[in-house]
Amino acid sequence: MFRYRMVSHTADIRVRVSSPTLEGLFQGAALSLCSLHVDRRRVREREAVKVSAEGYDMEDLLFNFLRECFSLIAVESFVYRRADVRIEDGGRVGATLRG
């Protein structure tokens, strides 16, 4: 389980994500990113796309993961309603995005 909320900021967009698990944090970050572009409640789950990323620490891993998610939105026009995230050993994350 996770929660996220948009936070007021003068120049950029800021999102605060909270979760008791690391997977939940990554899931909340991915879903909040998609929510910036579309109303996720209107997205139907017709397709599943797998993404993965690597990083040398957790910040780098999250950044690279969100870059992969954003690439799907911006380049492939793929928006998603759900994200099933798994943190793997060795600084890796994998996810199935459904939209």
Average pLDDT score over residue span 18-44: 89
Instruction: Tell me the domain boundaries of the chain.
Output: 3-98
Both tokens assigned to 53: 């990323």
Q: Tell me, what's the pLDDT at 15? A: 82
93/62 Cα distance (integer angstroms)? 9
Confidence of residue 8 (pLDDT cuts 50, 70, 90): low
Summary mean pLDDT of the chain: 89
Residue 45 pLDDT exceeds 80: yes
Q: Is the pLDDT of residue 80 over 90?
A: yes
Taking a C-beta distance cutoff of 8 angstroms, is the pair 33, 82 a contact? no
Contact 41, 87 (CB under 8 A): no
**23-33 pLDDT tens trace:** 999 999 999 99
Domain 3-98 = CATH 3.40.50.720: no
Better-predicted residue by pLDDT, 36 or 4: 36
* 78/99 Cα distance (integer angstroms): 7
* Model confidence at 93: pLDDT above 80: yes
- Rounded distance between C-alpha atoms, residue 85 and residue 53, angstroms: 11
